[in-house]
Chain A
């Protein structure tokens, strides 16, 4: 009987540690400060990433992976390696895409979804997204992460996004995972791994020719 009780208690503890727990005001303030501090001190990020798009109705996933580069203030490079090769660089408002050797550049304003995703990624890296008035924020944590759930407030954003969930690493307040949930229930999960902070990245990395 005691053995059974012990197993049940152990199971309950495991469940509790894996579940997301809400945070009080002081803890929320601590997260905001931590993210802002990380944003101030993070000049570059080099990382690998895995992106999963889950299509609930089709019961299928599209999984891609590659390399990610960020350089302050607003330079990004997404280099998709598998299952296709594709490079996207974003410098300020200019997006360049290299596809099969052909490079096309356009302004983020000509593609609203791109502009929104760009703002979300940059905003979550530099911490400004947490104070963005376009979203209401909910805070929780699990064992390894502080979890911020952002719900769009503006009707136009709500059309495309139900919520964004950002997983900040408890150790250094950098983003480990980003989930973008769409109104139909489909979602994209981007997981960053092998992160290296403040390693020099030449500006040319963000230029496609």
Chain B
């Protein structure tokens, strides 16, 4: 029985967690080549939201984790922190996910080196779940990449430009449709938090639909834009 359980776990990890996060068919290109095609002046390079002036936004949200189905609103706000004694400094993003009636599911704040769960609704307050969600949600928000650790590629057939960035303990792959539209972000830090974020339905340069998936924990988090400032 114990053997069967072990085999099941290994099978799940092999079938989903071990899926390569690296996009296929990549040919390395130089930073210069990458920069001539992609507009480096556009902060979209470091913003999954592909918009430089994202201050706050309201989204319809659907979060499926396993059998659990949550719906509601996600409010995201950029916060500039001046306090150097704060655990979170510089630019951070705050996301509050609540149900339609306003009751909060979770309230998180994430920055380059930080990730804080300010509040979490009881049934979601699981240490293991948040260990995975931490990387998944960090991928969702703009980060300042360490340029020295960035490498560039051209994807055959699709002609998408790809940048690989090492951020802390996880690797992030950004897939761009030239000149400045971020189509997809992939990343993982462990076998369990392999996540993919897709951006679609662009309107005025902003993706109206953002979908985050993590196959291993059967997570699908969808955001549909309502308003943005």
Chain A contact residues, CB within 8 Å of chain B: 51, 53, 55, 57-58, 60, 62, 78, 80, 83-84, 86, 88, 97, 99-100, 104, 106, 110-114, 116-117, 156, 159-161, 180, 182-184, 186-188, 190
Contact = CB atoms under 8 A, between A and B. Distances in A.
Interface of B: 56, 58, 60, 62, 67-71, 73, 75, 77, 94, 96, 98-105, 107, 118-119, 121-123, 224, 226-227
Contacts of B100: 78, 80, 86, 88
B58 A160 contact: no
Given A53-B102, A106-B69, A156-B122, 20 more contacts: A58-B75, A58-B77, A58-B96, A62-B102, A78-B101, A83-B226, A88-B100, A99-B71, A104-B69, A110-B67, A110-B68, A112-B123, A114-B101, A161-B103, A180-B101, A180-B102, A180-B103, A183-B119, A188-B101, A188-B102
Given A111-B70, A156-B122, A159-B122, A62 B101 contact: no
Contacts of A159: 121-122
Contacts, number: 87
Nearest to A159: B122
Contacts of B105: 113
A203 to B, nearest CB: 22
A155 to B, nearest CB: 9
A156 B122 CA distance: 8
Given A156-B122, A184-B107, A184-B119, A62 B71 contact: no
B58 A83 contact: yes
A172 to B, nearest CB: 24
B157 to A, nearest CB: 32
A62 B75 contact: yes
A171 B184 CA distance: 57
Given A83-B227, A110-B67, A190 B101 contact: yes
A184 B103 CA distance: 11
B94 A58 contact: yes
A186 B104 contact: yes
B69 A111 contact: yes
A51 B227 contact: no
B96 to A, nearest CB: 6
Q: Chain A binding site: helix, strand, loop or mixed by DSSP?
A: mixed
Contact of A55 (B75, B122, B227): B75
A111 B75 contact: no
11 contacts: A51-B101, A60-B56, A83-B226, A84-B226, A110-B68, A111-B99, A113-B99, A113-B105, A159-B122, A180-B102, A184-B118
B75 A60 contact: yes
A190 B103 CA distance: 12
Nearest to B109: A57
A160 B224 CA distance: 26
A19 to B, nearest CB: 26
A99 B77 contact: no
A83 B60 CA distance: 11
A117 B99 CA distance: 10
B125 to A, nearest CB: 8
A188 B102 CA distance: 6
Contact of A182 (B104, B123, B224, B227): B104
Contacts of B69: 104, 106, 110-111
Contacts of A187: 102
A115 to B, nearest CB: 11
B107 A117 contact: no
A23 B105 CA distance: 35
A119 to B, nearest CB: 12
B207 to A, nearest CB: 16
A48 B75 CA distance: 24
Contacts of A184: 104, 107, 118-119
Contacts of A80: 100
Contact of B121 (A88, A160, A190): A160
